[in-house]
Chain A
C-alpha cells in the first residue's frame, strides 16, 4: 500500500461528492494532507468529519467556473497558504445529455468550462515550478469512457472528456523535464449521484458491466497508485476502468 506523509499536500477538486470525496478519504487514511476544493461547504464539512484525520483536510469553497482565467493565480495563492503541492486530482465535472438538435454554443461551453477549461487552467497554475514539489509530483485527470463510447446525446460531455485526454498527453510531454507525471483515468459508470442521472437518461441502456456498476473506490484506489511514488515510471497514460465493458 502506498505511503504518504503529512508534508505531501494534494489538491482534489470535486471533493465533496462521488469519486473526489473517496479520493480525499483514501489520501487522508494514508497520511497525506489534502486541500479539498468543493462548492458545497456543508457536504464537504460532513465528509471531513468522517475521515480518519480531519485536521489534515483543508476545505476551500470555490465555484471554479466563476473565474477560470484567474485559476492559475488561485493555485499560487493556495501554495502561499499551504505550501508546495505534491499532486492534483481533477475530479470536478458535470454530465450532460443534449442531442445535437438541442445543443447551442452556450450549453457546450458550460460543459467544457468545468470539464475541460477548469482542469487545464488549474494545471497551468500547478505546473509553475514555484507551486509544486518538482520530481515526484503527479497530476491525475478524471476523464470518462464516454470519450471513447460517444453515445447518442452526449456530444458535449464526450467531446469535453476526449479533449481532456489529448490535453493531458500534451501536458505530460511539457512537464516531463520537471519529472512531473501526468495520467488520465477513464472510468465507466460508477455509482454516484452524478451517474444516477446517466441511468435515467441513457438511450438503449443495457447492463454492460458483468460485475455491476463500479464503486468510487475502484477509481480512487487507482488514483492513489498514480499519485504515489510506486508509479514513478508511469506518465502520459490513459487508463480505462470499466469492468471490460468496451
Chain B
C-alpha cells in the first residue's frame, strides 16, 4: 500500500469527509472517537499485520503516527 492508498483507506476507516493528510491532527477530526480508534486497530491488524491497543492509539497525535505504526 503506497502513501496515497493509505490515506484513502484510512479515510474509509474513519468514515470522514475531511481531506486528511499525514499532518492532520487526529483530535481535530470530528470522527476520531472511540469507535474509530478500535476500527484503526482492526485496520492495522488486517492490512499490515500490526498489533496495537487503545493506550497506544490514544498516544498518537497525527495521521503520520498511524502511518509509522503501519510501516508506511
The interface of chain A, by Cβ under 8 A from chain B, is 97-99, 101-102, 152-153, 200-204
Contact indicator A204/B34 (Cβ below 8 Å) = yes
Knowing A152-B34, A203-B34, A204-B34, say if A99 contacts B39 (CB, 8 Å): yes
Contact indicator B55/A203 (Cβ below 8 Å) = no
Interface core residue of A98, A152, A202, A204 (most chain B CB under 10 Å): A98
Shortest Cβ distance from A202 into B: residue: B54
Partner of A201, one of B13, B15, B38, B43: B38
* In the complex, chain A residues whose CB is within 8 Å of the CB of B39: 99, 101-102, 153
Given contacts A98-B38, A200-B53, A203-B35, 20 further A-B contacts (CB under 8 A): A97-B38, A97-B41, A98-B42, A99-B38, A99-B42, A101-B15, A101-B39, A102-B13, A102-B39, A102-B46, A152-B34, A152-B38, A153-B38, A200-B55, A201-B38, A201-B53, A201-B54, A202-B54, A203-B37, A204-B34
Q: CA separation between A115 and B24, bound complex, in Å? A: 40
Q: CA separation between A203 and B43, bound complex, in Å? A: 17
Interface core residue of B13, B34, B55 (most chain A CB under 10 Å): B34
Partner of A152, one of B35, B43, B54: B35
Contact indicator A102/B43 (Cβ below 8 Å) = yes
Q: CA separation between A195 and B38, bound complex, in Å? A: 16
Q: Is the interface of B mostly helix, strand, loop or mixed?
A: helix
Q: CA separation between A200 and B55, bound complex, in Å? A: 7
Interface core residue of B13, B15, B38, B46 (most chain A CB under 10 Å): B38
CB distance from A95 to the nearest CB of B (A): 13
Contact indicator A99/B35 (Cβ below 8 Å) = yes
Shortest Cβ distance from A196 into B: residue: B53
Shortest Cβ distance from A106 into B: residue: B46
CB distance from B10 to the nearest CB of A (A): 12
Which 10 A-B pairs have CB atoms at the shortest separation, nearest pair first?
A200-B53, A102-B42, A203-B34, A153-B38, A99-B39, A98-B42, A102-B39, A99-B35, A99-B38, A101-B39
Q: CA separation between A237 and B31, bound complex, in Å? A: 42
Shortest Cβ distance from A104 into B: residue: B46
* In the complex, chain B residues whose CB is within 8 Å of the CB of A153: 35, 38-39
Q: CA separation between A202 and B35, bound complex, in Å? A: 10
Q: CA separation between A203 and B38, bound complex, in Å? A: 8
Contact flags B18-50 to A (C-beta < 8 A → 1, else 0): 000000000000000011011101110010000
CB distance from A108 to the nearest CB of B (A): 13
* In the complex, chain B residues whose CB is within 8 Å of the CB of A202: 54
Shortest Cβ distance from A99 into B: residue: B39
Shortest Cβ distance from B37 into A: residue: A203
